[in-house]
Structure 1
Amino acid sequence: MDFSPTEAQQDLAALTRRLLADHVTPETLGPHGSGGFDAPLWTRLAQSGVLDAALPAAVGGGGFGLLEQCSVLIEVGRAVAPLPYLSSVVQAGSVLAELGRPELVERWLLPVSRGSAVLAVAGGFTETGGRLSGTQTAVPFAAFADAVLAETPGGVFLVERDAPGVSIAAQQTIDHADAGLVRLDDAPGTPLGDVGRALRQRGAVGLCAQQLGVVERALELTAAHTREREQFGHVLGGFQAVRQRLADAYLDVEAVRLTLWQAAWRLSEGLPADAEIATAKYWAAEAGHRVAHTAVHLHGGVGIDVSHPLHRYFAAAKRLEFTGGGATAQLLTLGGLLTASPDR
């Protein structure tokens, strides 16, 4: 097991970081609680080739796998970039690519790779005779989605936004207005088969990758702040308690990193990964909580100012902490896995 990044991972991460650094600014993000999707930046990522991960090599794409996609997601997290890369590429795009159906490639994968389409993923719907019903709230990027991959007990269906019986209302979350309230009322859907587990697993690993980028950058900003800010005639970083909190935060970030790559590697190799994914999501939630609060505390008063850049990282970390289940939910999952397989 070797977690060293491949050349493709390094190149994709470096390219993504450069693009996001040039375009993700307080001005482009807008006021707190607004926006949530930067369409011009999405198009630019496509033009640079970053979104080619949505396409298999057989149809001209990059043929990138989960490890390369996680490297991109880390950079998305570091910039807190308002991009639907997780839902459109890592989840929906990858699953559609694996199905290998030409009509899906032409209708959805090519537009995603060109930056002209957004896909969302949601669960909790029912299906009868190919018609879907149900309601799901706070679906990430649904407010801007052209279609939703909707999971039902009988499988996953692709539901187009403009199909009859589909209603998507924009919702404001803790930091953006990118989520959507998805209502399906006897809406038609294209059956994709039993791919719900793949969507959930890839989604959980992707959340961990994005959280790693968030807390990694939040720690860097906080360390820089404590090297410059003075209190009582000394820089903050000179106080033992401050150094201890930074050290604890560093260990937390590394725990997120290690468990993320373990889960991503096993999933990419087709190995059983349920326990590793739950472990990674536990650390993404628990360590994400601690690092976010450490960053706010050590920044002092500006740490709670919603107009300060740090607040974007705090809000993103809290959102990623609870999406897909917080730390307690992951421990319950792990406990169930251990009791079911005592030899682990």
Structure 2
Amino acid sequence: MDFTPTEAQLDLARLTGEVCGKLVTADRLRELDKTAVRFDEPLWASLAETGVLAAALPEAVGGNDFGPLEQSAILRELGKYVAAVPYLWSIVLGAGALAAFGTEAQRDWATRAGAGSVILTTALAEEQNWEPTKPTATATEADGGWRVTGAKLAVPFAAQAARILVPATASGRAAVFLVDPSEASIQVTAQQVTDLSAEYSLEFTDTPAELVGDLDNGAQILDWLLTRAWLGLSSQQLGTVERALELVADYAREREQFGKAVGSFQAVAQRLADGYIDVQGLRLAVTQATWQLSENLPSAEAVHTAKFWAADAGHRVAHTVVHVHGGVGIDRDHIVHNYFTAAKHNEFALGAATDHLRAIGTLLAETPA
């Protein structure tokens, strides 16, 4: 097991960090918080222009054929800057799934997404049950095609997307469908979420849809999507809490109370030390899960472990950052507010800590002694 970053990982992380460093300032984040849709279009265009979007896609759709390691490196950098862009949903999940399982026409959407000319997204969150492997939406065959009926919650960038990947149950089996969000039979409603990111609820009523892959491998495609979604959220969370810990450490060194830096007080120092341990634990969990996935090794348990750490450790670090900052920590104009809300979003997206502990328990129970 070798956790040494690849050259491509280092290069893509550096490039992503340089692009974000120039465009994502504290003023820019405050500006985005006041917009109707929290989407940083100039940053997205710059990531496309510099080749970051296409880099980790297969060569068949215009990419460099990199994989989970490189995608995780990019997501980690985006998390450090709490970047308001749909890289996980459009590139890793949308374009990645269509490149791997789609028809030639569907793969064209992946090519266009990698070029930044369209946005794709994926509707993985379920309305009534967090368990996303059992889609509550249904799909039926009609007139030589498919129709989807049901609801989805918290769909990122749905109103900005050209196509949405929608899991649904068809003939008693999980399947994934490609849907045009401009269809009149879809009701798209903006939702207000913790970090004000662009998320929407969707209502499908007999909506035309294209099957991705076939019914025999529908469950495989959904598992592919969920595995990368959980790991992607964990990678973003790693970047977010890494940078948040740096911000609070700097503050604890500079802020004085009773003539001493607050970081010199034992209680504060202990919380910062605990935060450091949490970040190291999350980094190890994400690195191991990403490596196993990149090597095509069984990775379900490692991915759920990473998402558990992203939720559990992310919760503790986020609250430490706010508490140590004191009053300014709850000031919505202060930059740490963005890191707190981003960490809370990543904590609960597609299952909180308890959900992933249950998933790990199920996997262990199914493993022969």
- Check whether TM > 0.5: yes
Quick one: distance in 1 between partners of 2:282 and 2:94? 24
Counterpart residue number, 1:178: 198
| Alignment-mate amino acid for residue 252 of structure 1 | D
Q: Secondary structure at the match of 1:161?
A: coil
Q: Secondary structure at the match of 1:189?
A: strand
- 1:135 is matched with which residue: 141, 151, 155? 151
1:166 positional shift = 2.0
Please say if residues 32 and 40 of structure 2, whose CA atoms lie closer than 8 Å, have aligned partners that are also in contact: no
Counterpart residue number, 2:9: 9
| Alignment-mate amino acid for residue 172 of structure 1 | Q
| Alignment-mate amino acid for residue 149 of structure 1 | L
- Once the two structures are overlaid, the 10-residue window that deviates more, 209-218 or 272-281, is 272-281
1:119 positional shift = 1.2
Which string of whole-angstrom CA distances, capped at 9 and with x for unpartnered residues, describes residues 11-31 of structure 1?
000000010011112333325
Counterpart residue number, 1:314: 340
Pairing 1:331–2:369 present: no
Q: Give the 4+ runs in structure 1 shifted more than 4 A.
A: none
1:143 positional shift = 2.9
Counterpart residue number, 2:161: 145
Unaligned runs of 5+ in 2: 125-134
**Identity across matched positions, percent:** 49
Q: Secondary structure at the match of 1:191?
A: strand
Pairing 1:296–2:314 present: no
| Alignment-mate amino acid for residue 139 of structure 1 | V
| Alignment-mate amino acid for residue 65 of structure 1 | G
- 1:104 is matched with which residue: 100, 103, 106? 106
Alignment of 1:17-96 (within 5 A): 17-29=17-29, 30=31, 32=33, 34=35, 35-53=37-55, 55-96=57-98
Q: Secondary structure at the match of 1:112?
A: helix
Which string of whole-angstrom CA distances, capped at 9 and with x for unpartnered residues, describes residues 122-174 of structure 1?
14421011100111122122232221100012310000112341222222211
1:54 positional shift = 5.7
| Alignment-mate amino acid for residue 149 of structure 2 | S
Please say if residues 159 and 181 of structure 2, whose CA atoms lie closer than 8 Å, have aligned partners that are also in contact: no
Which string of whole-angstrom CA distances, capped at 9 and with x for unpartnered residues, describes residues 275-314 of structure 1?
1111111100000000000001111110011110000000
1:342 positional shift = 4.5
Alignment of 1:140-289 (within 5 A): 140-154=156-170, 155-193=175-213, 194=218, 195-289=221-315
The TM-score with structure 1 as length reference comes to 0.96
Quick one: distance in 1 between partners of 2:70 and 2:102? 20
Which string of whole-angstrom CA distances, capped at 9 and with x for unpartnered residues, describes residues 149-205 of structure 1?
000123100001123412222222112240011111111111113111101010000
Q: Secondary structure at the match of 2:33?
A: coil
| Alignment-mate amino acid for residue 8 of structure 2 | A
Unaligned runs of 5+ in 1: none
Q: Secondary structure at the match of 2:188?
A: strand
Quick one: distance in 2 between partners of 1:232 and 1:258? 38
Q: Secondary structure at the match of 2:333?
A: coil
Quick one: distance in 2 between partners of 1:139 and 1:330? 20
1:332 positional shift = 1.0
Quick one: distance in 2 between partners of 1:309 and 1:263? 30
1:36 positional shift = 1.7
The TM-score with structure 2 as length reference comes to 0.89
